């Protein structure tokens, strides 16, 4: 949609024409109607249908159809075998509401969403501000900080498993080194710390994503304003608060949306590192839905959970998106 | 964080040096887990036993050989390619065709079709992954490379179409009108005039999609339960689950899993970042 907000790197625009210098053509549909003869339009319609057909076939079969089925599953009692599962209405949702494990998992999701959104944002912004305006070596920093984000989560889980190892892991050894050895624990095995340990790993992996996006947003910031605020004697914090942040606000909100909404459907890293344990300490709605569907054969219950998960995330996405668009329209993103 | 100015004045040179120092330190901290993987993977067996989580003191390829042969990471590598390459090709081809149609061609039902595609950006895979399991089973595609590739491709199509469509929308109409006056057919306009102009976008999409599919964990976990087509991600997970396994080969397996990602990312850093950047703005 508003690709222009973040597009700053030269690779963004295709090599040949530069859209920024050519005036925007009028809306496509009107153009076609007003200037092209009907023979051309017929040929275009035919080609359009041919080109879009395989895409739509895939989308309908592998997205729309299973989505419809998800709705159906949530209102019946399907165990994976019965070809004609009985209709149970809202029973699955009522059970969800009463299930204490769901509430415990939701609590973990909320912790994940709050900390897992704030921490990467703060770290990512900090890194981006540091790299911003560094004339040399920014490519190296970009690669170094973004790298964790593109690694497979299983690989990330393996390494952090070693770092958190109770006896010889780097974290406990590091704590001993600075005289805080008593704080050491089996990070992933201790119900009090497991969720935060996994969350820490996730923060490590996502901060780079926030960093890359915010850095490219910073490239659009009006440096004259920044210099002017320097002359006016603004301190670093007020400069950030009143000069820099407002200019990157739309992009900032967009990253917030992405990390926040991602917090609802977190699955991979938890599943890999702890599987929801110990004793449900890291259970999130995602792992709970998976366990119900594929380990307990409670297909319908798991599906209903997944649907609720999605419904919870939608209002946030819409709200933040609207906020972001309003700010972009006010020209703050430019 | 103390300085965030963008213009360089002589007095700032020292500050800049300090900033580089901090940044290098932070980079090392960020990359440390990676260093750990590489160093553990390259240790000798004795070194691993005496000092499992430390940095290496001697280099050997033993762990890599063990992972490759005993841990069947050789098979996993092949399967990872068999799962990432066809699905990526499918995403790039179908997205490019569809993206052009949505950007440039009028056809009945265009806006409804586009809404259906965009739905894929809003709905997480999570929402429908369970019914999809039974659907694949019904279609006889469970535990097949074809099935897993189709699912992987379908998870990338919505974004791909959105991404490529933006490139086609940005192209000026004059180009296609000139071609039309020269007598080119609609297909020729697409194939010979417009398509080459979005090749950089298609390339970025290809790299981005390949990484996504290579890293995908849930799709092979759910839809390839049989194990004969197990890719690196679920293979490594299985290896991790066998707690008795030596750390050395586990590190080697991890290294084998991330090596293609590392190479691709370092070589095509710009395309990857671009794909993720545009992907982020899709909402």
> Residues 180-209, chain B: which have Cβ within 8 Å of A?
180, 185-187, 190, 197-201, 204
Q: Do A14 and B105 touch (CB under 8 A)?
A: no
Looking at the DSSP assignment, which residues form a beta bridge with residue A87? Answer: A76
Residue pair A93/A306 in contact (Cβ under 8 Å)? The answer is no
Report the residue of chain A nearest B233, measured CA to CA: A154
Residue pair A85/A76 in contact (Cβ under 8 Å)? The answer is yes
B18 and B119 assigned to the same domain: no
B22 and B133 assigned to the same domain: no
Q: Report residue B47 as tokens.
A: 């070194």
Q: Do A152 and B131 touch (CB under 8 A)?
A: no
Q: Is residue B2 part of a domain?
A: no
Q: Mutate which of B27, B175, B277, B278 to disrupt the A interface (most A C-beta within 10 Å)?
A: B277
- State the DSSP string of A10-60: GGGS-SS--TTTSPPPPPHHHHHHHHS-HHHHHHHHHHHHHHHHHHHHHHI
Q: Is residue B145 part of a domain?
A: yes
Q: Do A169 and B190 touch (CB under 8 A)?
A: no
B127 and B233 assigned to the same domain: yes
| Eight-state DSSP code of residue A76 | B
Class of domain A100-330: mainly alpha
The C-alpha atoms of residue B108 and residue A171 are separated, in whole angstroms, by 60
Assign A28 a pLDDT band (cuts: 50, 70, 90). Answer: low
Please report, for the domain that includes residue B139, its CATH number.
1.10.3720.10
- Reduced to 3 states (helix: H, G, I; strand: E, B; else coil), residue B70 is coil
Residue pair A52/B102 in contact (Cβ under 8 Å)? The answer is yes
Q: Is residue B5 part of a domain?
A: no
Task: Tell me the percentage of chain B whose pLDDT exceeds 90.
Answer: 54
List Cβ neighbours of A304 (8 Å cut-off, separation of 6 or more): A73, A74, A92, A93, A96
Q: Do B23 and A134 touch (CB under 8 A)?
A: yes
- Going by C-alpha positions, the residue among B217, B218, B91 that lies closest to residue B154 is B91
B55 and B81 assigned to the same domain: no
Q: Do B107 and A208 touch (CB under 8 A)?
A: no
Q: Is residue B269 part of a domain?
A: yes
Q: What is the pTM of this model?
A: 0.87
List the single residue in A40, A144, A160 with the smallest CB-CB distance to B33. A160
Find chain B residues with C-beta within 8 A of A258's C-beta.
280, 283
Q: Do B124 and A2 touch (CB under 8 A)?
A: no
Per-residue pLDDT, A27: 52
Find chain A residues with C-beta within 8 A of B171's C-beta.
14, 17, 19
- Going by C-alpha positions, the residue among B1, B12, B5, B24 that lies closest to residue A125 is B1
Q: Is residue B140 part of a domain?
A: yes
The C-alpha atoms of residue B246 and residue A158 are separated, in whole angstroms, by 13
Q: Is residue B8 part of a domain?
A: no
Is residue B7's pLDDT more than 60?
A: no
More confident residue, A170 or A29: A170
What is the signed CA dihedral for B62, B63, B69, B70, rounded to 10 degrees? 120
Burial of B124 by CB count in 10 Å (0-12 exposed, 13-18 middle, 19+ buried)?
buried
Average pLDDT over residues B198-202: 91
B246 and B169 assigned to the same domain: yes
Longest Cα pair distance anywhere in chain B, in angstroms? 76
The C-alpha atoms of residue A52 and residue B101 are separated, in whole angstroms, by 6
B184 and B46 assigned to the same domain: no
| Eight-state DSSP code of residue A80 | S
Q: To which residue do tokens 């074809």 refer?
A: B146
Per-residue pLDDT, A12: 40
Average pLDDT over residues B141-166: 95
Number of domains into which chain B is organized:
2
Assign A332 a pLDDT band (cuts: 50, 70, 90). Answer: very low
Average pLDDT over residues A222-239: 82
Q: Do B281 and A223 touch (CB under 8 A)?
A: no
Per-residue pLDDT, B243: 57
Last residue of one domain, picked from the residues B5, B36, B59: B59
Least confident of A22-26, A220-224, B37-41, B148-152: A22-26
Count residue pairs from A and B with Cβ separation < 8 A: 346
Is residue A263's pLDDT more than 90?
A: no
List the single residue in B34, B154, B169 with the smallest CB-CB distance to A63. B154
Cis peptide before A278 (omega within 30 of 0): yes
Which structural domain, as residue segments, surrounds residue B25? 13-59
Is residue B23's pLDDT more than 80?
A: yes
Last residue of one domain, picked from the residues B59, B81, B97: B59
Least confident of A297-306, B55-64, B154-163, B189-198: B55-64
**What does pLDDT average to over chain B?**
87
Q: Is residue B255 part of a domain?
A: yes
Q: Mutate which of A23, A151, A153, A286 to disrupt the B interface (most B C-beta within 10 Å)?
A: A151
List the single residue in A11, A48, A54 with the smallest CB-CB distance to B271. A11
**What does pLDDT average to over chain A?**
84
| H or E element at residue B30 | helix B12-41
B113 and B168 assigned to the same domain: yes
Per-residue pLDDT, B244: 58
Angle at A52 between CA A48 and CA A54, to 5 degrees: 140
B77 and B209 assigned to the same domain: yes
B120 and B179 assigned to the same domain: yes
pLDDT, one tens digit per residue, over A180-197 is 877 888 899 999 999 999
List the single residue in A7, A51, A154 with the smallest CB-CB distance to B237. A154
- Going by C-alpha positions, the residue among A275, A279, A273 that lies closest to residue A287 is A275
More confident residue, A56 or A26: A56
Q: How far is B234 from chain A (nearest CA, A)?
A: 8
Find chain B residues with C-beta within 8 A of A5's C-beta.
281
Q: How far is B145 from chain A (nearest CA, A)?
A: 15
Interface confidence, given as ipTM, is 0.88
B144 and B249 assigned to the same domain: yes
Q: Is residue B6 part of a domain?
A: no
B120 and B227 assigned to the same domain: yes
What's the full length of chain A, in residues? Answer: 334
Every domain of chain A and the residues it spans: 100-330
List Cβ neighbours of B7 (8 Å cut-off, separation of 6 or more): A133, A223, A227
B51 and B179 assigned to the same domain: no
Estimate to the nearest angstrom the gap between the alpha carbon of A323 and the chain centroid: 17
> Residues 108-147, chain B: which have Cβ within 8 Å of A?
108, 110, 113, 116-117, 119-120, 122-124, 126-135
């Amino acid at each position: 949609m508003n690709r222009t907000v973040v597009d700053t790197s030269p690779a963004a625009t295709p090599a040949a024409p530069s859209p920024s210098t050519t005036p925007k053509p009028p809306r496509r549909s009107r153009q076609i109607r007003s200037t092209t003869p009907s023979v051309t339009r017929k040929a275009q319609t035919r080609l359009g249908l041919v080109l879009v057909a395989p895409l739509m076939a895939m989308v309908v079969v592998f997205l729309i159809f299973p989505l419809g089925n998800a709705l159906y599953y949530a209102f019946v009692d399907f165990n994976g075998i019965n070809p004609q599962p009985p209709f149970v209405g809202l029973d699955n949702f009522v059970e969800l509401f009463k299930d204490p494990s769901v509430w415990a998992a939701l609590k973990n999701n909320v912790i994940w969403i709050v900390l897992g959104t704030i921490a990467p944002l703060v770290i990512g912004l900090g890194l981006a501000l540091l790299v911003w305006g560094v004339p040399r070596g920014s490519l190296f920093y970009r690669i170094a900080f973004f790298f964790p984000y593109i690694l497979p989560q299983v690989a990330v889980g393996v390494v952090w498993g070693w770092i958190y190892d109770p006896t010889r892991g780097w974290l406990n050894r590091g704590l001993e080194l600075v005289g805080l050895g008593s704080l050491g624990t089996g990070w992933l095995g201790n119900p009090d710390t497991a969720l935060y340990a996994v969350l820490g790993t996730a923060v490590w992996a996502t901060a780079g994503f926030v960093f890359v996006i915010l850095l490219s947003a910073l490239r659009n910031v009006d440096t004259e304003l920044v210099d002017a605020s320097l002359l006016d004697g603004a301190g670093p914090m007020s400069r950030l608060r009143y000069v820099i942040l407002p200019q990157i606000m739309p992009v900032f909100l967009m990253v917030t949306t992405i990390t926040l909404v991602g917090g609802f459907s977190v699955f991979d890293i938890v599943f890999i590192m702890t599987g929801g344990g110990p004793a449900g300490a890291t259970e999130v709605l995602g792992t709970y839905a998976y366990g119900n569907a594929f380990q307990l054969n409670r297909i319908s219950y798991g599906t209903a959970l997944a649907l609720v998960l999605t419904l919870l995330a939608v209002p946030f996405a819409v709200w933040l998106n609207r906020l972001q668009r309003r700010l972009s329209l006010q020209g703050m993103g430019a | 964080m103390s300085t965030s100015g963008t213009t360089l004045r002589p007095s700032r040179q020292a500050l800049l040096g300090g900033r580089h120092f901090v940044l290098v330190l932070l980079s090392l901290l960020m990359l440390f887990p990676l260093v750990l993987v590489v160093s553990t993977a390259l240790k000798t067996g004795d070194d691993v036993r005496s000092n499992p989580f430390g940095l290496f003191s001697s280099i050997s390829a033993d762990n890599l050989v063990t992972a490759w042969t005993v841990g069947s990471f050789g098979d996993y590598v092949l399967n990872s390619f068999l799962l990432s390459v066809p699905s990526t090709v499918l995403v790039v081809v179908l997205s490019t065709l569809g993206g052009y149609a949505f950007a440039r061609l009028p056809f009945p039902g265009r806006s409804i079709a586009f809404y259906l595609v965009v739905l894929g950006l809003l709905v997480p895979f999570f929402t429908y992954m369970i019914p999809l399991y039974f659907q694949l089973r019904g279609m006889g595609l469970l535990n097949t490379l074809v099935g897993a590739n189709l699912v992987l491709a379908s998870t990338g199509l919505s974004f791909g179409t959105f991404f490529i469509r933006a490139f086609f929308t940005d192209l000026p109409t004059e180009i296609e009108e000139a071609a039309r006056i020269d007598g080119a057919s609609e297909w020729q306009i697409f194939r010979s005039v417009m398509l080459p102009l979005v090749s950089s976008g298609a390339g970025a999409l290809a790299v981005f999609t390949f990484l996504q599919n290579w890293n995908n964990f849930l799709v092979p976990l759910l839809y390839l339960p049989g194990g004969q087509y197990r890719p690196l991600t679920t293979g490594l997970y299985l290896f991790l689950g066998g707690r008795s396994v030596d750390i050395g080969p586990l590190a080697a397996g991890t290294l084998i899993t991330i090596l293609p990602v590392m190479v691709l990312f370092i070589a095509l850093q710009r395309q990857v970042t671009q794909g993720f950047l545009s992907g982020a703005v899709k909402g």
